[in-house]
């Protein structure tokens, strides 16, 4: 019976976690300064989950934008969901079922979620902008390399929905 406890402890050490839940950061917290400082770290990040055929994003409404070599980044993290990982697939399915129970329409409503995952960036922000024959270009993550960093999902937590009518009235993040 000691094996599962040992496994949990070893998994936490390997993932760099000393507690079950790291401090929750916002997308803006990560992008405010230099996301490369968190490169490879397991973090908890909260924002609005959205997606298109081109990818999945976690966004924030930040007061400023991260700028590298004069190029402004979106206030978004690219989200990579490794569905081949059974734990991630289960977490994703739990979130999908909860959204269905809440009658959420992700195309209309804001879906707030905390993602536990490993942050990936380049070694430096200067490496995320490259010189092309036509000028500078982003070498980030996600569709058109538009995000300065990517969160590789381990789990989805604390899902809440902000209905479209609530957004019109200007309310803040809903409770789940």
- Across the range 125-140, mean pLDDT stands at 90
What pLDDT score does 164 carry? 77
**Residue 6 vs residue 47, higher pLDDT:** 47
- Across the range 46-63, mean pLDDT stands at 93
pTM of the model: 0.81
What is the chain's mean pLDDT, rounded?
A: 85
- Across the range 77-91, mean pLDDT stands at 97
How would residue 58 be classed by pLDDT, with cut points 50, 70 and 90?
Answer: very high
Assign domain 18-169 to its CATH architecture. Answer: Beta Barrel (2.40)
Distance spanning both ends of the chain, measured CA to CA: 35
The H or E element containing residue 93 is: helix 86-101
What Å distances lie between residue 149 and 5, 10, 39, 74, CA to CA? 33, 27, 9, 10
Q: How far apart (Å, rounded) are the C-alpha atoms in residues 19 and 120? A: 21
| Tens-digit pLDDT profile for residues 19-36 | 466 899 999 999 997 899
Q: Does residue 153 register a pLDDT over 50?
A: yes
How would residue 12 be classed by pLDDT, with cut points 50, 70 and 90?
Answer: very low
**Could you give the percent of the chain with pLDDT greater than 90?**
66
């Amino acid at each position: 019976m000691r094996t599962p406890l040992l496994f949990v402890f070893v998994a936490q050490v390997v993932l760099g976690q000393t507690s079950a839940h790291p401090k929750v950061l916002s997308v803006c917290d990560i992008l405010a300064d230099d996301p490369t400082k968190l490169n490879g770290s397991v973090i908890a990040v909260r924002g609005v989950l959205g997606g298109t055929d081109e990818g999945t994003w976690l966004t924030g409404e930040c007061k400023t934008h991260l700028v590298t070599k004069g190029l402004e980044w979106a206030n978004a993290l690219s989200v990579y969901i490794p569905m081949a990982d059974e734990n991630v697939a289960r977490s994703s399915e739990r979130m999908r079922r909860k959204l269905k129970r809440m009658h959420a329409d992700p195309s209309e409503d804001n879906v707030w979620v905390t993602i536990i995952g490993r942050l990936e960036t380049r070694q430096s922000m200067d490496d995320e902008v490259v010189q092309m024959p036509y000028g500078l270009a982003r070498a980030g993550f996600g569709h058109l390399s538009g995000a300065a960093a990517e969160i590789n999902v381990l789990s989805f937590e604390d899902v809440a929905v902000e209905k479209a009518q609530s957004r019109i009235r200007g309310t803040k993040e809903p409770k789940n």
